[in-house]
Structure 1
Amino acid sequence: MMKNWLAAGAIALTAGMTTTVAQAQTTTVPGEQVGLAVGAPLPEGVYAINTFTYGGRDQGALDIGVNIPILVWSTPWVPLGGRLEFVVAPPTVFAFGKSSGPGGIRDFSVNVGTFVGGIWAFDLGGNFGVSLLGGAYLNEANAGRGVVVTNAGVLVPGAALPFLASNTYRIGVAGSYTGDGWNITANLTYNFYDSPATFSGNNAFLTRGPYQMSDALNLDLTATKKFGKFEIGAIGYGTVNLDPNLLINPVLGGATIGRGGRFLLGGLVGYDFGPFTTQFYVARTVARTADSFDSTEGWFRIVAPLYTPPAPVAVAPAPLVRKY
């Protein structure tokens, strides 16, 4: 019933959050597609995916959570042999303050840059697949609208995520092997921005000047095996800024963005319930640049098909009737 459900990861699309200069500027959350065969085409139908992650940081005053609901239409169209899949995903970011004083952030929530895009996925035969992804996070429509409350209970005015004051454009390429219950997948994602970023017409924000956004590169890796309804394996993911010498606020002469690179390793467990499938994975930072951070991150995902076309009914040939 859940044939090729792993391929639903081709649309596990989301938005990230940068709370300090000293971390990667990627809008696509590193690790968001881990555990999913993003290179394989989905069977025709409509699919729902929801992924939630929570990261506890060793450094800094905030822990970050992201919820990513996704709707996917895997179309019947296969130009040049590759299936077209259309995606919409409106992620929400949460932050929870720790010991940061009365002026620090206590609670934070914002709907970040709804993603709209498409995937062109090819079955190469021999259980190998490859996909190409393109789309945009509509940050200008969402990223300024959110709630920020300090530890003193004060509601902070202005844009919730000023550094996401421009749309993010995303391209990606992925390859998967899915034979004999294996999911061996590598997925490379590139983010680039309309930079410098300013919210149009937001005078309060413009007084602080525009933000320079670094392009970013993410890598998600999966190696899991299914044993009946269970799945188990190893995962890894990371991100790095590609323009580390940019000033994050050139008008005010702010600090540079920095390299902001890090990589995490961990394990994954999944279970196929039939009507839907779940996955849980945990990862820990194993390498980072000096201007990044260490964290332990937990993820939970549900994948469910909402509609699949009925299988064609075989029609028995009509008997031959001969008239004399």
Structure 2
Amino acid sequence: MAAYRLTSRTLWAALTVVIVSGARPVQAGSAAQPGQTVGLPVGAQLPVGLYFVNLSSFGTRSTQPRDSSTNVNLPTLAWATPWDVAGARLQFFFTQPVAAASSRGAPYQSGIGQQLLAAQLAWDLGGDVGVSYLFGGYLPIQTRFLTQSASLTHRFAASYTGQDWNLTANLLYGVFLDTRSPSGTIYPDYLNLDLTMTRKFGKWQVGAVAYGSSDLPTGVGSYRPQGQIAVGGLVGYNFGPVNLQAYLTRDVVQRNYGGREIRGWLRAIVPLYQDRGEVEPNRTLVTRRQAE
């Protein structure tokens, strides 16, 4: 849940934009960090409750003459309400990103990223299958080295959570309200796809993850669209009230980023309140059905 990009075609890190050197136009990127939802069954209903989720990641991209690095933190509050709308559970999300970046060995810059406010409808279709639709917006900010323009996000997810599996696909479509910043940064609309295939073995969770992203056409001839495909593996452990997940990903394809990236991720899921009628004691909730 963040925006990204550092220096001309170098980094894609959440909520990071970078100024291109020389006379070429400044470029921007996705308002949602690619890969940020892998590992989660985002198509399924959450049990009623309030949750704190933090995803922290650090990535290094093999740019020249020196590597470029970014650290992204996405603290999120998630509220699964007891209310149904059109047969779906109504859920709300708030994210306040914080990012730090170093382009080609330059000193790190850090700052507060764009807040995300979103609502989601999640339908239980039966047979351990769920689908969801999320609609939200990234608020404008004035942090200079980050994406500044407001944007809308649409997310369409489907999950299968039976037999201790988590098979999830989440398509993210972002639309910027202003296509250029006052400094000339181009903000392309974007598509991201996050994929998860994991299985639980007792308290452990292991599996494969992948994600891809692509800028959509801007109509600006000088703009070079960016994109990538990354794959990796995930391991998680349920400590009781807290669930931890870690995954490592690497680009297998990249376009106009200046090099491939390897990134490590760590997620903590902490229930702040749960409806005990839906969740077993000492069970970290992953989905409503898995908690039955």
Using the size of structure 1 for normalisation, the TM-score is: 0.76
2:215 paired residue among 241, 250, 255: 241
| Alpha-carbon contact 1:262-1:292 (below 8 Å) kept | no
Q: What residue ranges of structure 2 are gaps of 5+ in the alignment?
A: 13-28, 279-292
| Alpha-carbon contact 2:137-2:153 (below 8 Å) kept | yes
State the Cα deviation string for residues 135-185 of structure 1 (Å, max 9, x = none). 0111x2x3x23xxxxxxxxxxxxx233xx2310210010000000100000
1:88 maps to 2:94:
yes
| Alpha-carbon contact 1:196-1:210 (below 8 Å) kept | no
Once the two structures are TM-superposed, the CA of residue 245 in structure 1 deviates from its matched residue by 4.8
Q: Distance in 2 between matches of 1:111 and 1:307?
A: 27
Once the two structures are TM-superposed, the CA of residue 16 in structure 1 deviates from its matched residue by 2.7
Q: Distance in 1 between matches of 2:5 and 2:179?
A: 16
- Whose strand fraction is larger, Structure 1's or Structure 2's? 2
1:17 maps to 2:4:
yes
1:258 maps to 2:232:
no
Q: Distance in 2 between matches of 1:68 and 1:179?
A: 28
Which residue in 2 is equivalent to 1:192? 175
Q: What residue ranges of structure 1 are gaps of 5+ in the alignment?
A: 1-13, 100-104, 146-158, 199-205, 248-255, 313-324
Q: Distance in 2 between matches of 1:166 and 1:290?
A: 22
Higher mean C-alpha deviation, range 257-266 or range 62-71? 257-266
Which residue in 2 is equivalent to 1:160? 145
Once the two structures are TM-superposed, the CA of residue 300 in structure 1 deviates from its matched residue by 0.2
1:77 paired residue among 83, 89, 93: 83
| Alpha-carbon contact 2:63-2:258 (below 8 Å) kept | no
1:224 maps to 2:198:
yes
Once the two structures are TM-superposed, the CA of residue 293 in structure 1 deviates from its matched residue by 3.1
Q: Which one-letter code corresponds to 1:212 in the other structure?
A: I
| Alpha-carbon contact 1:167-1:193 (below 8 Å) kept | yes
Q: Distance in 2 between matches of 1:246 and 1:214?
A: 10
Which residue in 2 is equivalent to 1:115? 116
Aligned residues: 259
Greater Cα radius of gyration, structure 1 or 2:
1
State the Cα deviation string for residues 100-144 of structure 1 (Å, max 9, x = none). xxxxx3011111110001110011000000000000111x2x3x2
Q: Distance in 1 between matches of 2:123 and 2:90?
A: 9
Once the two structures are TM-superposed, the CA of residue 80 in structure 1 deviates from its matched residue by 1.9
Distance 1:243 1:261, change over 3 A: same
Q: RMSD in angstroms over aligned alpha carbons?
A: 1.8
Q: Distance in 2 between matches of 1:125 and 1:311?
A: 19
SS of the aligned residue for 2:163 comes to: helix
Distance 1:274 1:291, change over 3 A: closer
Of all paired residues, the percent bearing the same amino acid is 37
Q: Distance in 1 between matches of 2:230 and 2:63?
A: 16
Q: Distance in 2 between matches of 1:184 and 1:215?
A: 27
1:275 maps to 2:241:
yes
| Alpha-carbon contact 1:57-1:63 (below 8 Å) kept | yes
Q: Which one-letter code corresponds to 1:89 in the other structure?
A: T
Which residue in 1 is equivalent to 2:254? 288
Q: Which one-letter code corresponds to 2:232 in the other structure?
A: G
Q: Distance in 2 between matches of 1:280 and 1:311?
A: 29
State the Cα deviation string for residues 219-275 of structure 1 (Å, max 9, x = none). 00000000000010000001001125526xxxxxxxx33221110011000000011
